[in-house]
Amino acid sequence: MTMNLDALYPPIEPYESGELLVGDGHRLYWEVSGNPEGRPVVFLHGGPGSGTSPWQRRFFDPEKYRIVLFDQRGCGKSTPHAGEPGADLRHITTAHLIADIELLRKNLGVEQWQVFGGSWGSALALAYAQAHPNAVSALVLRGIFTLRRMELEWFYEGGAAALFPDLWESFIAPIPVLERSHMIDAYHRRLFDPDPAVHVPAAIAWSTWEASTVTLRPDTEQIAAMSDPRAATAFARIENHFFVNRGWWTEGQLLAGIDAIRHIPAVIVQGRHDVCTPMMTAWDLHRAWPEAEFVVVDDAGHSAAEPGIQQALRDATDLFSF
């Protein structure tokens, strides 16, 4: 299945790119495309640990936006890569990522920017905005995820198996029966085992489960891309690391902190049939933040590449492109 991106703007190339030294030995890949004098927007990718892709530039009108993409610590083109042997994730936490975004903003000479984030990117966008509300001009959020216990248990501890029992069997296969009552912890032990014969198959199983369930219809290209051993290892390790630590947040912290950002213009886009980050969380955010525009796409799952979600996100960025 080839990704259909007809709802988005035409492909563009960056006019500037580089590496940002953020400390702890980490270097972040960043790029800027669109109009150098345009409205600044920063794209926060999902995962955590997935990295950015060129097609993600296309959510924004290139004549009106100065479009900033970057790969968060440990993934994509950033180094050191979490898929490499001996990867150390001690300095990859939510607080580090928030500080990285702020450092990137200052280094690019941006006073305020729109923050666009989906899935994990929506959680990071909320956390960044709550930490630095004066730096955010608007928010576009998709596939809302806040790392509450019930959200993680739904997708990784058996809830979603009710819809995908065949795929769930493949997900639990690397884990012995006696450990399957705590899948995130069981995977943690295997993903951080130094032996590639242990951590690579576990990473591929973890990443394949997610890739197979994020779209309303199976996307074989996405499943294949997320099954690449190096990319899958980084993705699975970073995600699991954040999930074991619950994002370093207290339960419900992001929703409890909404009052700090209710003045910021925002659009929330949610696929009705999202299995990865079910609509319950988007609905809770909507109830906590009624001033934000709430858009439900009835014929879509989780992925930003779903046609209806593409259109809703483009509509949202067009709304804020003045």
Catalytic residues: 119, 274, 302
Distance of CA 101 to the CA centre of its chain: 14
Burial of 95 (0-12, 13-18, 19+ CB in 10 A): exposed
Dihedral over alpha carbons 137, 142, 146, 150 (to 10 degrees): 160
Three-state secondary structure call for residue 115: strand
* Residue owning tokens 């903003």: 105
How many Å apart are CA 54 and CA 36, to the nearest integer?
A: 18
Secondary-structure percent of the chain, ordered helix, strand, coil, rounded to 5: 45, 15, 40
How many Å apart are CA 224 and CA 207, to the nearest integer?
A: 10
Q: What residues are paired with 127 via a beta bridge?
A: none
Q: Are strands 26-34 and 65-70 parallel, antiparallel or unpaired?
A: antiparallel
| Cβ pair 199, 190 in contact under 8 A | yes
Q: Which two tokens stand for residue 8?
A: 């988005």
